[in-house]
Amino acid sequence: MLSFKEKIRRNFSKSAEDYERYAELHREIAGKLLNQIPAGEYKKILEIGCGTGLLTFPLAERFKDAEINAIDLALGMVGKAQAKAKAEVRIKVEVGDGERLDFPDDYFDLVVSSSSLQWMDIKKCFAEVKRVLKPRGEFHFALFLREGEAMIRKEMKMAGFKEIGLKSEIKEKRFDDLMGLLKFLKGLGAQASRRKPGFLPREKLFDKSSSVSAVFEVIFGGGSK
């Protein structure tokens, strides 16, 4: 039987080819997360769960002097992002695990992650992020997680982060029918879950003239070392 992590790796690699067709919501969240990051001289940036690069390349465009390491567990996603990054000498995309970062202590000025932490062991990931951040380095993220703000705050405090800020937002997306919703979820690789996802329970799905609306809860957060 495949482990949870292997299921995630397989599902997202399989969905990489069509991922951006279904990633409108993820693109919106990445844009909002990027705007959340304060101006600063970030020389070394790590992105965890880069996918096909929805945040990676806007991040490089905003912070033009930064070297960016972008990692993802899924080889298929990494391949897509690497193809886009060929001309970008400042961007290095590789397979990597957010729960076991292959970087030295006190290495990055900024760590970011958009729409991927919900697939990870939060405790392990936060501890690793704290380890690889330089003193006073910053961590900014967005994840889908229902009713999870208190838990995220607790885990950030336990990991030793300071100046913690969290905000939850509800996002609604309309589909022509239930099949459209299922294709959307499959296209994003969302076929496994470690905890309560940001996708709200069945009673929050409702039919409007045969169309289906799905409601998602997104937590935007940040903190410093």
CATH number reported for the structural domain that contains residue 137 in this entry? 3.40.50.150
What's the CA angle centered on 164, arms 158 and 165, to 5 degrees? Answer: 135
Max CA separation in the chain (angstroms)? 55
Segment 73-100 mean pLDDT: 93
Q: Please tell me the predicted confidence (pLDDT) of residue 190.
A: 52
Q: How confident is the model at residue 12 (pLDDT cuts 50, 70, 90)?
A: confident
105-118 residue pLDDT tens: 999 999 999 999 98
CA distance 136 to 168: 25
What Cα–Cα distance (Å) separates residue 77 from each residue in 15, 84, 146?
8, 11, 25
Q: Please tell me the predicted confidence (pLDDT) of residue 179.
A: 67
DSSP designation for 79: H
b/e sequence 102-121, b meaning 16+ C-beta within 10 Å: ebeeebbbbbbbbbbbbbbb
Domain boundaries, position 13? 4-224
Top pLDDT among 100 and 195 is at: 100
Segment 23-45 mean pLDDT: 94
Q: How confident is the model at residue 149 (pLDDT cuts 50, 70, 90)?
A: very high
- Tokens 């609604």 belong to 172
Q: Please tell me the predicted confidence (pLDDT) of residue 184.
A: 63
CA distance 161 to 163: 7
Could you tell me which residues are beta bridge partners of residue 103?
none
Q: Please tell me the predicted confidence (pLDDT) of residue 201.
A: 40
pTM of the model: 0.87
Burial class (CB in 10 A: 0-12, 13-18, 19+), 215: middle
What's the CA angle centered on 112, arms 137 and 149, to 5 degrees? Answer: 95
CA atoms within 13 A on the CB side of 43: 3
Tokens, residue 45: 């940036």
CA 39 to chain centre: 21
Number of separate domains in the chain: 1
DSSP-based three-state secondary structure for 160: coil
Q: Please tell me the predicted confidence (pLDDT) of residue 178.
A: 67
